[in-house]
């Protein structure tokens, strides 16, 4: 969760006061709206990832059977269950009240926050580098909020972000594989891992890299820059908080976003939207499972 500290100050809110729960977020959003402290009190980037996948992890809620897909290729989606309906219904209610504004899929909404037009947004830790170079306002990172009636204390979030993949193909030479291995070795060296994380906001992917960031005093000099690391590591992962593995997962994400948009634009009830997303998403997973039998 990213906070525009200037908007909070304009609203007379303490930007350092924690917004631990969704109730806290909603209360702050109402003040921000009443004081006209920002064009948009609350928004989100990456809706499916931040508001359903991460939501499921920190609340220890089942996203799909078979340990969220890690136990086999044909899990059953559970996104039509009560916790997910509650989450979407909350956003629909916030939208009607003028507290939340849906601004699109994936990272499309991010520039709106960069421009200082939103008081609170949900986005990747990797926008840190962009904010440092372009934001004309004070900002801060905070842990994702949680619902107290679902979990008493939130557990670890799950990793996201960009990834490098070494793809094979006919005719690859031993020299090419050696070069790929050298590159991965290079980027995983502590000095490179730490430098990348410090500049971009992406979390370091090695323990040594994180230790170097700490020893250099970066976290101490940049309060809040370690929020993502702390959130990822604050508890031992459970079978429902170590990640999600679904065949056709990118398509499933799009389906959820489509149903979210229909709910906002057409007034589709949250329960109907999530049931439809579950049914459509399950069809994608089933088709993927069939390809494994071929």
Tens digit of each residue's pLDDT (9 = 90 or more) over 181-200: 999 999 999 999 999 999 99
State the CB neighbour count (10 A cutoff) for residue 18: 10
Q: Specify whether the CB–CB gap between 115 and 7 falls below 8 A.
A: no
pLDDT score recorded for residue 21: 98
Lowest-confidence pick of 125-134, 163-172, 232-241, 255-264: 163-172
Contacts of 190 (CB under 8 A, 6+ apart): 206, 208, 209, 211, 212
Q: CA end-to-end span of the chain, whole Å? A: 43
pLDDT number for residue 179 = 96
Give the CA count within 13 Å in the CB-facing half-sphere of 203. Answer: 19
Spell out the domain ranges in the chain: 2-156+240-293, 174-226
For residue 192, with 0-12 CB atoms within 10 Å meaning exposed, 13-18 middle and 19 or more buried, which class applies? middle
**Distance separating alpha carbons of residues 100 and 108, to the nearest angstrom:** 16
Architecture of the domain defined by 2-156+240-293: 3-Layer(aba) Sandwich (3.40)
* 111-139 average pLDDT score: 95
Residue 294's pLDDT band (boundaries 50, 70, 90)?
Answer: low
Q: Residue 107 has what pLDDT?
A: 93
> Would you place residue 114 in the very low, low, confident or very high pLDDT band (cuts 50, 70, 90)?
very high
Closest CA to 226 of 216, 214, 238: 214
The pLDDT of residue 167 is 86
How far apart CA 30 and CA 11 sit, in angstroms, is 10
Nearest to 291 by CA among 75, 77, 78, 74: 74
264: nearest Cα among 128, 115, 103, 24 = 103
pLDDT of residue 258: 96
pLDDT in tens, 248-278: 999 999 999 999 999 999 999 999 999 999 9
Average pLDDT over residues 285-292: 93
| Predicted confidence (pLDDT) at residue 293 exceeds the cutoff of 90 | no
Q: How many CB atoms lie within 10 A of CB 208?
A: 14
Q: What is the pLDDT of residue 164?
A: 81
User: In this model, does residue 17 exceed pLDDT 60?
Assistant: yes
pLDDT digits (tens, 9 = 90+) for 208-236: 999 999 999 999 999 889 999 999 999 99
Query: Pairing relation of β-strands 40-42 and 2-4?
Result: unpaired
pLDDT tens for residues 30-57?
999 999 999 999 999 999 999 999 999 9
What is the full DSSP assignment across the chain?
-EEEHHHHHHTT--TTS---BHHHHHHHHHHHHHTT--SEEE--SSHHIIIIIHHHHHHT--SBHHHHTTT-S-PPB-TTSHHHHHHHHHHHHHHHHTSB----STTTTHHHHHTT-EEEE---GGGHHHHHHH-SS-EEE-PPPB-TTT-SS-------S--------TT--HHHHHHHHHHHHHHTSHHHHHHHHHHH-PPPSSHHHHHHHHHTTHHHHSTTTTHHHHHHHSS---TTSS----TTHHHHHHHHHHHHHHHHHH---HHHHHHHHHHHHHHHHHHHHHHHH-
Q: What is the mean pLDDT of the chain?
A: 95
Average pLDDT over every residue of 132-160: 96
Question: Nearest Cα to 266, choosing from 109, 54, 118, 102?
Answer: 102
CB atoms within 10 A of CB 293: 6
Comparison of pLDDT for 159 and 241, the residue scoring more: 241
The first and second tokens of residue 23, run together, are 């109730």
């Amino acid at each position: 969760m990213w906070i525009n500290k200037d908007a909070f100050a304009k609203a007379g809110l303490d930007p350092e006061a924690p917004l631990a729960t969704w109730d806290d977020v909603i209360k702050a959003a109402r003040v921000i709206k009443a004081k006209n402290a920002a064009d948009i009190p609350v928004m989100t980037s990456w809706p499916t990832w931040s508001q359903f996948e991460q939501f499921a992890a920190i609340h220890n809620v089942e996203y799909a059977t078979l340990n969220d897909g890690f136990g086999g290729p044909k899990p059953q989606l559970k996104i039509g269950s009560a916790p997910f309906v509650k989450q979407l219904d909350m956003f629909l209610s916030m939208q009607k009240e003028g507290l939340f504004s849906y601004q699109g899929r994936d990272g499309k909404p991010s520039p709106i926050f960069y421009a200082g037009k939103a008081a609170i947004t949900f986005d990747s830790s990797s926008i840190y580098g962009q904010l440092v170079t372009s934001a004309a306002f004070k900002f801060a990172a905070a842990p994702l909020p949680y619902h107290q009636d679902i979990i008493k204390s939130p557990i670890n979030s799950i990793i996201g972000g960009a990834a490098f993949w070494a793809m094979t193909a006919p005719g690859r030479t031993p020299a090419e594989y050696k070069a790929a291995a050298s590159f991965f070795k290079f980027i995983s060296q502590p000095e490179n891992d730490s430098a990348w994380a410090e500049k971009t906001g992406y979390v370091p992917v090695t323990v040594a890299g994180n230790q170097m960031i700490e020893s250099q005093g970066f976290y101490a000099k940049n309060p809040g820059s370690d929020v993502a690391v702390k959130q990822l590591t604050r508890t031992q992962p459970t079978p429902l908080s170590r990640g999600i593995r679904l065949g056709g997962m990118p398509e499933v994400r799009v389906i959820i976003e489509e149903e979210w948009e229909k709910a906002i634009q057409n007034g589709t009830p949250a329960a109907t939207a999530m049931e439809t997303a579950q049914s459509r998403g399950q069809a994608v997973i089933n088709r993927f499972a069939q390809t494994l039998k071929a």
